[in-house]
Amino acid sequence: METKFIAAGLATIAGVSTVILNATKTHDFTLIITDVGNLCSSTPSSTHPSAEFLGPSQPNPSPLACDTKPLYTVFLPQNPPITSCKFWVAHDLVPKGLVVINKGA
């Protein structure tokens, strides 16, 4: 599960909405896409850092709101996303390199 959160974090930094859900259960993906689209288009109602994950505070019933358990976890994108070069430099898995300084330098 940890790797899913890491991947979702990397995707949000790159400006991509990410949904983690149980793939063994049947889902109506059109409802999930619509619901996530509504979250992304709404502005956070609070200045609290987690407000963007909670969506709007006003009553805005979702097609999936009647379920007692959450069907998925949504990670909203960072705005503005970082550039691809900065992403590559910041998230390279294994830093490698060698600095050689000779006497003539």
pLDDT digits (tens, 9 = 90+) for 36-71: 777 766 644 444 344 444 444 444 445 555 555 657
**Regarding predicted confidence, which is higher, 41 or 19?**
19
The b/e string for 5-19 (b: 16+ C-beta within 10 A; e otherwise) is: eeebeebbbbeebbb
Lookup result for tokens 């049947």: 26
Are 51 and 45 a contacting pair, CB within 8 Å?
A: yes
- Spell out the domain ranges in the chain: 2-90
pLDDT digits (tens, 9 = 90+) for 21-40: 887 877 777 777 777 777 76
**99 is written with which tokens?**
């600095």
pLDDT at 54: 44
Please give the model's pTM, rounded to 2 decimal places. 0.51
pLDDT at 6: 87
Residues 59 and 49: their CA atoms lie apart, in Å, by 20
What would the mean pLDDT of 73-91 be, rounded to a whole number?
80
Helix, strand, or coil (residue 75): strand
